[in-house]
Structure 1
Amino acid sequence: MTEALHYLELTELAARIKARDISALEVTRAQLGRIDALDRELSSYVHVMAETAIAAAEAADAEIAHGRYRGPLHGVPVALKDLFWTKGIPTAAGTTVHRNFCPGDDATVVRRLKDAGAVVLGKVQLTEGAYSDHHPLVTPPKNPWNAAYWPGISSSGAAVATAAGLCFASLGSDTGGSIRWPAAANGLTGLKPSWGRISRHGAFELAATLDHVGPIARSAADAGALLSVIAGHDSNDPTSLCDPVPDFLAAAAQDVRGLRIGVDAAWNNDDVEVTTQRVLADAIDVFRSLGADIVDVKFPDVTQAIADWAPNCAIEAAVAHEATYPARKGEYGPILAAVIEAGRALSALDYQKILLRRLALRGRVVALFETIDVLLIPVHPLPPVTLAMISTLGDRPDLIAKLQRYTCPFDMTGHPTITLPGGVSADGMPIAFQLVAAHLDEAVLVRSGAAFQRATSWHRRHPSLTSRRQH
């Protein structure tokens, strides 16, 4: 198996498996070998499920050979963020307090992936409880492009594994930016669906009304293929919506002629690093050349929403951890413990004011999407973020607010977004931009992202990785 095959888009690999040009078993064995060769340095996986992955690949090959093709995930190796229950496999959510938890059932999204014939390679690492920092006993994943750079936040293991060719896509979650930052940092496509589009049953909570489940992949079409499988109502999660699930792969084939793309030039350039500004300008030029209409807009002020995100997340995290905190406080890392303490101290009056402000912001964003189809914005205003810069966040609330400026507002409103690679920095690190759409209009995000990626090749770049163990 050549290295190039490891970096195929999921949809490309799926076509080859369906045509029986390559077997799911061959691909899976090669992926397991690559994980063994590379992941000692990258630390993206928590559990490698070799035995069950081989069995699933063999079953996929047998079904495909007998004409029972389940769709574009059939036989394709994927990975799961280790906060999704996986039957018989420890699911710790980046914590030590849950390290012995072994679910008796799959999360709904995991079951849907398996039902679609996907091969689950294993569980990938995350920050403690999916908040901002790893437990002191956990080795954080390393950015495969350059280990001195941030790999993103809680879904970093999912993004590192996907970027390094250790799976063909992964499933992550996003509460304040945790699909979008890792996707951007690792040169990937990340899709944060609308809140309610995907069941959260069997996913460890960080903050229930902010948590979004979604795919991290190599292309918008790949993300659409995953979304088509995992989306939809689930009776085990009454907050999941009953709206019909579009054919996202069909959306990926459409062009963007006449699509209204909103741009708030002032917001997009507000203390935004110059290379990121250039990526945004280039993306606008690409969309204009494809026939989209660029529309000047004024986005609502998000200053208060950014300030509200932390206490909102904190009080919901305190509820999520009520069974183990403070009873087992000593097993928590200092960052997550401090967040829970802050949540437990917040008054009901203050929380209600936050909820009312969230509703008001949501209403303003809903109104904006009466005039446009998508909004084009940065993922964050900073240059590619180094680990040295991240180490200063605890002393730099201004830096935290800048990092969250373009991500957490859309967890507060629940609107869907897609993150797309759009350029590189002077030292070769990926830089991305973000598209936002109206509630439940993920199809237009897949459509727009796929059109952009047909016209560019940023999403086809990948890190160069070697290991003495690889062969």
Structure 2
Amino acid sequence: MSSSELHYLEAYELSLLIRSRRVSPVEITEAMLARIGQLDGDLHSYASVTAELAMDQAREAEQELMRGQCRSPLHGIPIAYKDLFCTAGVPTAGGMPIRSQFVPQEDATVVARLRDAGAVMLGKLQMTEGAFAIHHPESTPPNNPWNAGHWTGASSSGCGVATAAGLCYASLGSDTGGSIRFPCAANGLTGLKPTWGRVSRYGALELAASLDHIGPITRSARDALFMLSTIAGHDPRDPTSSPSVCLEIPGIEDSFRGLRVGIDEAWLTEGVDPVIQEALQQVMAVIRDGGGLLQVVRVPDTRAVSANWEAHCGVQAAVAHADTYPQHAPQYGPALSRLIDGGRALSGMDYQHILLDAQCFTGKMDALFKDLDLLLAPVQPYAAPTHEQLANLAQDAEANRRLIQFTSPFNISGHPCISLPCGFAESGLPIGCQFIAGKGEEGVLCRAGMALQQVTDWHRARPFA
């Protein structure tokens, strides 16, 4: 197989080729760096490319594999990181010019775990300012490889573009209100937002501590499973990380058989474009044909928590940026400034009402999953908007709430979600659905994702050659 045929493989497919010695990590990394050089001048997905480091790690992986030492299925696989994860000796700006000269002395825990698994780091990926909604005015936003006139999907934008365009085999992103799931829906990818606490946040730039989730952006549910199994687990440096054990990968089957999947028809249709509704119906048919049990449920009202999300996030962002804001406010872009200013202005009593609403919603969701394995939902109520439509959302609080109504509630409740491609809009843009599960049930999510992708090929569509 020539290197030109490799760039769109799933990471696990590539891993099999590496371990059978049909291709080498050095060959793959060279080809990937060449492709980045060829295409990223137009796509702008990378904040920095660490070519020398990547080749050093690829050569080390190749030598180890030649000696029969295989660290993991990710050994020798070139991946990239959202630019909010600390990387020793490599700038970590978080989409913020004010941090452009920040060079960490150590890796974030998730970076260290992937490095120890033998993954090759290609570089750092572009993101919105501080992981909020909009790129800083001095930054060049990534372009959607499916259509440059449309949204790339919030803060993990570079992750979505690079993974979809064949500029890395997987990437690591973060999700505070939907920023793993939105880029996956916009770019035709699979992404996993784990249970809050499942993955250490140590060494990751904070937006909102109780809402931030770290997870993989990949080309398949199987790849997401392998990435998550590598980065998950307790970290003494992050006291909020849960004492969870690794997922038992061999025991996870790719079948819907016996899974109870909740369907709330009103929630799935109210204000949701017909093309999204039709895609969800196709997913339901796959579940039913695969032996899954569709159950009619009523999802707890998400309107309050999605409407409160920005204020909830803003208070915590104000805390996260207290060392530099408002002292250096002129160096901040307008969107992040507005978020922090709103958080600083909110009264303690008003924030307590937001917290009580969040606790109430979380308790109701926990109760729902006592008799349910999965909940089916869209990622968003329409396909990726144009840049003009996205700009208008910022001026319309209700339109913005509608955009995040299926994502942000589960950042607030901490439940895990997997985003999956489920079809295409008339424009040709990919669209996504998601499964939500009970806390700690990422194995069930990956099982459902693999089952869907076993009998459909939406996840194999690519934006260009």
TM superposition score normalised by structure 1: 0.97
Matched, 1:222 2:238: no
Q: C-alpha distance in 2, partners of 1:3/1:455? A: 27
Aligned to 1:106: 107
Q: C-alpha distance in 1, partners of 2:269/2:3? A: 42
Aligned to 1:189: 190
Deviation at 1:350, TM superposition (A): 1.5
**Partner amino acid, structure 2, of 1:370:** K
Aligned to 1:7: 8
Aligned to 2:243: 242
Matched, 1:40 2:41: yes
Instruction: Map residues 198-217 of structure 1 onto 2, 5 A cutoff.
Output: 198-217=199-218
Contact 2:153–2:384 under 8 Å retained in 1? no
Deviation at 1:427, TM superposition (A): 2.0
Matched, 1:176 2:177: yes
Aligned to 2:166: 165
**Partner amino acid, structure 1, of 2:36:** I
Q: C-alpha distance in 1, partners of 2:349/2:126? A: 36
Deviation at 1:245, TM superposition (A): 2.0
Deviation at 1:354, TM superposition (A): 1.3
1:300-329 CA-partner distances (Å, limit 9, x unpaired): 001110121111100000000000011111
Contact 2:260–2:292 under 8 Å retained in 1? yes
Aligned to 1:91: 92
Q: C-alpha distance in 1, partners of 2:395/2:341? A: 19
Matched, 1:457 2:448: no
1:35-83 CA-partner distances (Å, limit 9, x unpaired): 0000000000011000010000000011011111011110000000000
Deviation at 1:395, TM superposition (A): 1.9
Structure 2 runs not aligned, ≥5 long = none
Aligned to 1:75: 76
Contact 1:248–1:446 under 8 Å retained in 2? no
What SS does the aligned partner of 1:182 have? helix
Residue identity over aligned pairs, in percent, reads: 50
Give the count of matched residue pairs.
464
Closer, same or farther in 2 for the Cα pair 1:18/1:250, shift >3 Å? Answer: farther
Greater Cα shift, 145-154 or 346-355: 346-355
Q: C-alpha distance in 2, partners of 1:382/1:222? A: 26
Aligned to 1:130: 131
What SS does the aligned partner of 2:445 have? helix
Contact 2:3–2:28 under 8 Å retained in 1? no
Instruction: Map residues 286-435 of structure 1 onto 2, 5 A cutoff.
Output: 286-435=286-435
Aligned to 2:258: 258
**Partner amino acid, structure 2, of 1:346:** L
Aligned to 2:61: 60
Aligned to 1:468: none
Contact 1:225–1:249 under 8 Å retained in 2? no
Aligned to 1:469: none
Deviation at 1:160, TM superposition (A): 0.3
**Partner amino acid, structure 1, of 2:345:** A
What SS does the aligned partner of 1:391 have? helix
Contact 1:384–1:425 under 8 Å retained in 2? no
TM superposition score normalised by structure 2: 0.99
Deviation at 1:250, TM superposition (A): 4.0
Aligned to 2:436: 436
Q: C-alpha distance in 1, partners of 2:142/2:132? A: 15
Structure 1 runs not aligned, ≥5 long = 466-471
Contact 2:383–2:429 under 8 Å retained in 1? no
Q: C-alpha distance in 2, partners of 1:273/1:129? A: 31
Contact 2:383–2:430 under 8 Å retained in 1? no
